[in-house]
Chain A
């Protein structure tokens, strides 16, 4: 019977993130998996309480599928990643507003090689907004 209680994000160490994909497609006991991942067994049992996939047999012994556990560790890593917003053409990050804005009155200046510098104003606060651009084209300039 599979158990999943209290699923929330757990703090997974880098060492575990590296070692988890090496887990084998077999059933492990908590002690074995803790040894293989080099973490204390109490930490592992804490992860099980926070939603790590595991099952119990008729004797109430805990079994952990190595591949399922590795997938769960990977999902925890992805859950901790903050959502990103890549800058679009003509956009920059205003340090005053602390937000992504459309650059007003932008000017592109070549720096070196493929690297260019886009300088303009923030439409909200009027402050100067700078942005580095690789392979700048006319599309980088804000329209209007």
Chain B
């Protein structure tokens, strides 16, 4: 079972994106699909402790990826997840004090040596 608080934070982020940034419903829908991978990766762990997960988000996406996911799509998913984590750190600074900014910034960087053809 996934952590419900994680899901509620994702929903809050999507609402914030719609109201504050004026993102369209299609963009919100895409963002939610991208953030589902983060929810599945975190599993029952709260987002505040995700840096302790052994498997990186990138590796998780590679393992779980469905056929047809190209590098651009993968990068887009990582970017959305990075945007969400930056937002959540800014909005809940105490709860997410364990997540370091440098760790978040590393999320969307696809390593040069990694094979990303799926």
A interface with B by C-beta (< 8 Å): 22, 24-27, 32
13 residue pairs of the A-B complex, CB under 8 angstroms, read A22-B33, A22-B36, A24-B2, A24-B7, A24-B36, A24-B39, A25-B1, A26-B3, A26-B7, A27-B1, A27-B4, A32-B7, A32-B11
Q: Which residues of B contact A26 (CB under 8 A)?
A: 1-4, 7
Give the interface size class of chain B: 10 to 19
B interface with A by C-beta (< 8 Å): 1-4, 7, 11, 33, 36, 39-40
Q: Which residues of A contact B39 (CB under 8 A)?
A: 24
Q: How far is the CB of A121 from chain B (nearest CB, A)?
A: 49
Q: How far is the CB of A20 from chain B (nearest CB, A)?
A: 14
Please give 10 more A-B residue pairs, beta carbons under 8 A apart, in addition to A24-B36, A26-B2, A26-B3.
Answer: A22-B33, A24-B2, A24-B39, A24-B40, A25-B2, A26-B1, A26-B4, A26-B7, A27-B4, A32-B11
Q: Which residues of A contact B36 (CB under 8 A)?
A: 22, 24
Complex CA gap A26/B1 in Å reads: 5
